Amino acid sequence: MTNMADIHPSNGRPASFDEKHDEKHDSSGKSSLAAGDESPTRLENGKADTALLLNEQEILARVRAHPDDATPIFLTFSKHDSDNPRQWPKWKKWYITCFASFLNVITCLCAGGYSSAQDDIIEVFGVSAEVATLGLSMYILGFAVGPMVLAPLSEYYGRSPVYIGSWFILFIFQLPVALAPNIATVIVCRFIQGFGGSAPLTNTGGSISDVWERNDSGNAMMIYGVSSTFGPPFALVLSGYIVQRTTWHWLFWIFMIITGCLWVLMVFTLPETRHSTILERKAKQLRKVLGKEGVSGAALQNISDVANKLEKRSLHSLFAVQLVRPFRFLFTEPITMGAAAYNGFIYGVVYLFNEAIPKVFADGHDFTVGEWGCAFAGIAIGVLIAACFYPLQERYYLRRVAENDGKGVPEARMWQARFGALLLPISLFWFAWTSYPSVHWIVPIIASSLFGAGIYIVILGVLNYVVDSYQTYSASALAGVILIRNLVGAGFPLFASQMYDKLGNEWASTLLAFLAILFVPIPIWWFYRGEQLRLKSPWAREHFSQDEDAPH
């Protein structure tokens, strides 16, 4: 299973508790014991004591039969537990997948769509292009900061409250931007919007991991990958004509309407999917039921969920882990460093294009704001075409898994990425040297479609590889990747105008192409030598057997 990213919180601590499942439990830790079974699974808790791993009915039966037994009991899902998100009906899983992925598209719409209003903002507030560009960069900077704060909150309160609370921030802060009296208001509120809009970066990949098992997640990840890479270019396709036919104020009013409608749907239709949160609530309800039956307080205190195992969590400790461990991964783990650098470069170029494409098509081909916005359709179409070929990648991965006795093979995630990495420099060279006004405008747009295909293939492959490699610690690794990705994405647009003005359209894009060549060896290296890298990592080595499929 992936996690894109992009983003989802881990359990916030090392997997020091070794769960020893017997044949009565599946690999996800879901109990298949019937209520009252006399031989429950026993787990070593690291203190020379034992604990019992039981489902809800088993706990009720055991505690009622032995009300004074103080043996620690950890609640887990039964094999066909309807409260387990992975046991939900497929229609419900697909609704959650599509809804959460659509949030990615909309938050990217709010990010990149700002560029269509930038010329009007420059004129109205009398600021330079660099100052106006801060409205885009600060939103992406909010993307970088948001996951560092929202990930611990997601673990502590669950995914649903974080979705609802942060998305409301994105919704309500469209209002002051639409009514902004000065550029300072725009810049500050755009940062706050980006912070709120980062909820999908924190949660969506985790939500998909919650409801889909690894070997069944291929199509879900295809949709999630499209939403992550299709959103930024598609934003300009829509926003350009909105600004051209109305005013820049109406762009943010429309954003407010869209995000508000989604927030209402979210409140009423998006369920909690985080396994640890659901189990924690079930354990609390169990203690309440047994308490009413007169079970002693000592016995009740020894009933916990399998995620927390009687440990008291605190936001302080969660923040300590979430803020420190990603940096440790960034500076000590070659896999994380490579993924962060590659993703940073790709997203930097994606958002740099928000400044570059208007120069190529508005200045060189006299496109209106709506028309140069449509020029981004090339990248968006490339993403969709690449997604159509993703089933080939998934088929290859599953074949390698079958050959490996059903265990995961992270290196197989890089099969297509080896070729996708080549598309990036090829497309940038093509785009660079067809940017002359004398060349028909469709030619550089076709080149940009190859770039769109390349970013989809590479980003999905790289992030899948990171998640499969680190598993329990994947959220920490991905937090570092996403932080660098968005810091670079925020920085690139700030120098785009100067770079294209001084080097010219052709040589500026050529410089990006040469930089893209430097990253081509990464997916090739991981595909052929990834096992050695994982063996050298103390974090990845814990999961080298690849026999787990836990949600994140």
Residue 65: CB atoms within 10 Å? 10
Residue 544 forms part of a structural domain: no
Q: Evaluate if residue 46 carries a pLDDT over 70.
A: no
Residue 9 forms part of a structural domain: no
The mean pLDDT value for 493-510 works out to 89
The mean pLDDT value for 522-527 works out to 95
| One domain for residues 259 and 374 | no
Q: Evaluate if residue 8 carries a pLDDT over 70.
A: no
**Cβ density class 261-293: b for 16+ within 10 Å, e for less:** ebbeebeeebebbbbbbbbbebbeebbeebeee
Residue 452 forms part of a structural domain: yes
| One domain for residues 141 and 210 | yes
pLDDT band at 236 (very low <50, low <70, confident <90, very high): confident
Give the end of a domain, one of 216, 246, 273: 273
The mean pLDDT value for 93-104 works out to 94
Residue 399 forms part of a structural domain: yes
| One domain for residues 336 and 482 | yes
Number of structural domains (the chain) is 2
For the chain, the straight-line distance linking the first and the last C-alpha, in angstroms and rounded, comes to: 10
Residue 427 forms part of a structural domain: yes
Number of continuous H segments (helices) and E segments (strands) in the chain: 23, 4
Residue 69 forms part of a structural domain: no
| Domain carrying residue 104 | 82-273
* Model pLDDT, residue 43: 53
Give the domain CATH number at 239: 1.20.1250.20
Task: Indicate yes or no: pTM above 0.75.
Answer: yes
| One domain for residues 146 and 240 | yes
The mean pLDDT value for 9-31 works out to 36
| One domain for residues 180 and 252 | yes
| One domain for residues 247 and 384 | no
Residue 541 forms part of a structural domain: no
| One domain for residues 388 and 531 | yes
Residue 8 forms part of a structural domain: no
| One domain for residues 352 and 479 | yes
Mean pLDDT (the chain) is: 84
* Model pLDDT, residue 407: 86
* Model pLDDT, residue 33: 36
d(CA 113, CA 246): 14
The mean pLDDT value for 539-547 works out to 78
| One domain for residues 117 and 195 | yes
Between 323 and 114, whose confidence is greater?
114
d(CA 333, CA 372): 41
Between 389 and 70, whose confidence is greater?
389
* Model pLDDT, residue 547: 67
